[in-house]
Amino acid sequence: MGEMMPAKLMSVADVARRWSVTPQTVHNLVRRGDVPVVRIGALCRFRPEAIIAYENRECQDPEQLRHDTALRSATVVSMPSGGTGRSSSAFHSGQRIAKKQSAH
């Protein structure tokens, strides 16, 4: 009777907008098991607290981030063009894109 309704679940589009990434990036994180998901039929929904927990895991102390970046997110990958590049987490990529977009 006095039960509170849980927070509204977030869609893939909601999460993608929040992180300034594509929906495909969010699906990739789900597929890898990085972000917990609630499946409703074929739909993916996310608990807001799970998204915040993921952000807290990925957004570390700046000093720790500098150290971890060299170890964890600076994997060299080959590019379709034949060159090489650095791979980083989708969340951090989204943050960089958002900063660039807000600067304009």
Task: Write out the residue range of the structural domain in which residue 44 sits.
Answer: 10-103
Identify whether 80 is part of a domain: yes
What pLDDT score was predicted for residue 73? 43
On whether residue 63 sits in a domain, the answer given is yes
**Domain assignment present for 3:** no
Check whether 55 has a pLDDT greater than 50.
yes
Given a cut of 70, whether residue 30 has pLDDT beyond it is yes
**Cα dist from 64 to 6, 55, 72, 79, whole Å:** 34, 15, 11, 28
Q: Calculate Rg over the CA atoms of the chain.
A: 16
pLDDT in tens, 57-99: 887 655 554 444 444 444 444 445 555 445 455 666 666 666 6
Q: Domain count of the chain?
A: 1
The verdict on residue 98 lying in a domain is yes
Residue 31 confidence (pLDDT) above 90: yes
Q: What pLDDT score was predicted for residue 61?
A: 58
